[in-house]
Amino acid sequence: MNVLYEDNHIIIVNKTCTEIVQGDKSGDVPLSEMVQAYLKEKYNKPGNVFIGVTHRLDRPVSGVVVYAKTSKALSRLNEMFRTHNLTKRYWAIVKNRPPQEEQLLTNYLLRNERINKTFVYDKQVKGSKLSQLSYKIIAQSEKYYLLEIDLMTGRHHQIRAQLAHIGCPIRGDLKYGFERSNKDGGISLHARNIRFIHPVSQKEINIVAPTPDDTLWKTFEEIMDTREEDAPTHSTADDHEA
């Protein structure tokens, strides 16, 4: 388990594509219980350890997950996620070039629980929910494109379904039309970054999750890191304390 940040009220971890955020019918040990065990051992705590699930990632998706360590943090984080009062940024690898360099996608999504799949409509249909995200192409390799995605609503399989709807299924995502699976069984969708105001201390939390240990992911991560290193820096009087 890879812990990215921890304090008295929250713990943030980097989920792998094989882990589940909380228990489900599979019976596999969820990440929430792994976090509980980690805290119990680290602090030698007797009895049960409180862990609150604040949001979820699909099992085949990797990246940043926030858990609450106190009930106060849980209630406040739940409200932040409900009202989208935070910034979540994802990276996705697709094979087909999107129709535009960057674009706001607005669709209506309808979930079919029986087959665990979401369908996309350009106009509202009965039971559908308005869904929005924006993407932009930030890098490309010989065969693939790296997209950065800002999620404005949090619907079931939203990124997967909306990207497939524009002809860009995510690498490895057989459910939404990619032609073959990834070796690790996951899909190339990574919750790269989360930024929010801490629910108790009120300081800004800005966490970046390293990409999975995969050659293509690491190639794209190196490309982006190099660009950041080469970018010119600017300072103003506002950047320095008096």
Which residue, among 69, 64, 74, 75, has the nearest Cα to 8 in the 3D structure?
69
How many percent of the chain have pLDDT more than 90? 84
pLDDT greater than 90 at residue 231: no
Band of pLDDT at residue 233, cut at 50, 70 and 90 = low
User: How many CB atoms are closer than 10 A to CB 150?
Assistant: 15
Band of pLDDT at residue 27, cut at 50, 70 and 90 = confident
What digits encode the pLDDT tens for the residues 179-224? 999 999 999 999 999 999 999 999 999 999 999 999 999 999 999 9
String of DSSP letters for 130-142: EEEEEEEEEEE-S
CA distance 206 to 151: 16
pLDDT greater than 50 at residue 122: yes
How much is the pLDDT for 84?
A: 86
What is the identity of the amino acid at 59?
A: R
Lowest average pLDDT, out of 15-29, 61-75, 136-150, 213-227, goes to: 15-29
Global pTM value? 0.91
User: Any idea where the domains of the chain sit in the sequence?
Assistant: 2-226
Q: Candidates 3.40.50.720, 3.40.190.10, 3.60.21.10, 3.30.2350.10; correct CATH number of 2-226?
A: 3.30.2350.10
What digits encode the pLDDT tens for the residues 138-165? 999 999 999 999 999 989 999 999 999 9
Q: What is the b/e burial string over 212-232, where b = at least 16 CB atoms within 10 angstroms of the residue's CB?
A: bebebbeebbeebeeeeeeee
How much is the pLDDT for 241?
A: 35
pLDDT greater than 60 at residue 237: no
